A and B are shown apart, each in its own frame.
Chain A
């Protein structure tokens, strides 16, 4: 049984329903990320689990017990905030010791545990400093240490790295992941940075508009998105309407496009029983050929529109009979506006949604 389950949770601020019948199961020792665009309800979900937000409907079960109504300070969850939220009037040591003091742990044991965790996050020489005298990265380490030292049953992190510069973000996320695995802590991690999310998580929950659209491993989310929203979110810019014509014996099938063209698709992605689907494909997976090149199937004729230089490649807007598509081409050869080309869609790169 899952360590944590949200069962049909709904949350509303006044009339504004923010979470809609949300379900989520997290196993012990897992790091699950909540990923999604701004305003989709990630923070709200995290705050609900933490106990800062009340559910209108539904239940939150943790470790077999109903936690829905348990007050925040009895939950024993560690919380790491985006803005660190260190106590400005206390030293680093007292910040970290705060949670232990609430638990009436003897002084010498507090000292031992605080120094241990400060060592883990690399701040053992900073114990007597005030938070004001720390850099952003150091503050975040203190915040992490403060949440970890209470040996929380669950660690909740809300965009913990978003105030740090890019290099430090990469370093810190590796550290967080290492500590999380070392201590075998179950963690929920909110972010809207995809790379960060994929690199740190066991599983990712992609949220949209108050619901979880897909909960899967990072690889599955990235390669085999299940919905149009998720596909779009992870970089599938092109969606082509398809109608199933025939299934192949070895798996996969043939689809007809709006203009009568045929596409072969290798994987059904669970859509084998649906007649009308969309084929999603990333701009970098489409090949640009000279006009008339390629085979009969899996190609479309197009005219080059606006192009943008993106460093590694050019990105073109290509007008085709089934609509505008975004296609990346090599940085070595630039197609001119108005040039006629043929686009080739590899059959194993098309994901059905």
Chain B
């Protein structure tokens, strides 16, 4: 019963938003009057939405790829080898989820932009790469947990080098983990506000930040329409994860 209430509490705003997105009124209203796609179309009229959508997409893809490039070997090293300081390193890699996003974003601002005078775009990319790293490492690590390392030894004993073995034996056996990590990291980066808010500057912003500043001045259902678009996007991605390895993957 209680669970049902919780679900309703979560679902109702989504229904309201979705309804409002397709209404004809000039402001958010539920139940909606009439049906129109004009707010959906309006998203593409607002030039900043299109620009920041592109930036968000770029940052999310680049950041995720960078984080995978660092995260996969790191997860592999952490699960394969025992060494001094392993626990420390594990904690270090996971720390970005433990530190509040605001604090993390603010320190990146101080560190990257003010101290090292890095371009805003680069800083944004670095910030996102770091913030999504823990997700990558966690998901990859959990798929490596089920990996039988004697398979790797078998490949090496048959004449493959360690590096080659990693690519032709280890990687193909954790692809589902890599896909899941990619999507999860992508969603996290794309939706991130607390870190992005400190690392945006003139002409460079992300979609969520742009949406926030939009609602400060306008109150028409364009935002609702955009939210619906993002929601659908997330659902599609989650669906892919579900199909590749099941959502229970993240329950671990």
Write out, one digit per residue, whether chain A residues 83-114 have a CB within 8 A of any chain B CB (1) or not (0): 10111110000000011001100000000000
Q: Does A79 contact B (CB under 8 A)?
A: yes
Interface size on B, residues (CB 8 A): 17
Known contacts A87-B169, A89-B172, A89-B173; is-contact A99 B151 (Cβ 8 Å): no
| Contacting residues, chain B, for A79 (C-beta < 8 A) | 153-154, 157
In angstroms, Cα B157 to Cα A143, docked, is 12
Task: Give which listed residue, A51, A74, A87, contacts B154 with CB less than 8 A.
Answer: A87
Interface segment, one of B58-66, B137-145, B158-166: B158-166
Q: Tell me the minimal C-beta distance from B103 to chain A in angstroms.
A: 40
In the complex, B150 has a CB within 8 A of chain A: yes
A73 to B155, CA, bound (A): 8
Question: Number of A-B pairs whose CB atoms are under 8 Å?
Answer: 59
CA distance A61 to B164 in the complex (A): 27
A88-B173 in contact (CB<8A) = yes
A81→B154 contact, CB < 8 A: yes
- Using CB atoms, name the residue of chain B closest to A143: B154
Chain B residues lying within 8 Å of A143, measured Cβ to Cβ, are 154
Q: A81 vs B148: C-alpha distance in the bound complex, in angstroms?
A: 12
List CB contacts (< 8 Å) of A143-182 with chain B: 143, 146-147, 150
List residues of chain A with CB within 8 A of the CB of B169. 87
- The proximity string for B residues 165-201 relative to A, scoring 1 for CB distances below 8 Å and 0 otherwise, is 0000100110000000000000000000000000000
Q: Are A85 and B150 in contact (CB under 8 A)?
A: yes
B-facing residues in A37-93 (Cβ within 8 Å): 50-52, 72-79, 81, 83, 85-89
**Cβ of A81 and Cβ of B156 under 8 Å apart?**
no
Contact A81 B150 (CB under 8 A): yes
Interface flags for A13-49 (1: CB within 8 Å of B; 0: not) read 0000000000000000000000000000000000000
Q: What 8 new A-B contacts, CB under 8 Å, besides A85-B154, A147-B158?
A: A73-B157, A76-B159, A77-B157, A81-B150, A83-B150, A86-B154, A143-B154, A150-B159
Interface residues of A, Cβ cutoff 8 Å to B? 50-52, 72-79, 81, 83, 85-89, 98-99, 102-103, 143, 146-147, 150
- 7 nearest CB pairs, A to B: A99-B158, A102-B159, A79-B157, A85-B150, A85-B154, A89-B172, A72-B156
Binding site for A on B (CB under 8 A): 148, 150-151, 153-162, 164, 169, 172-173
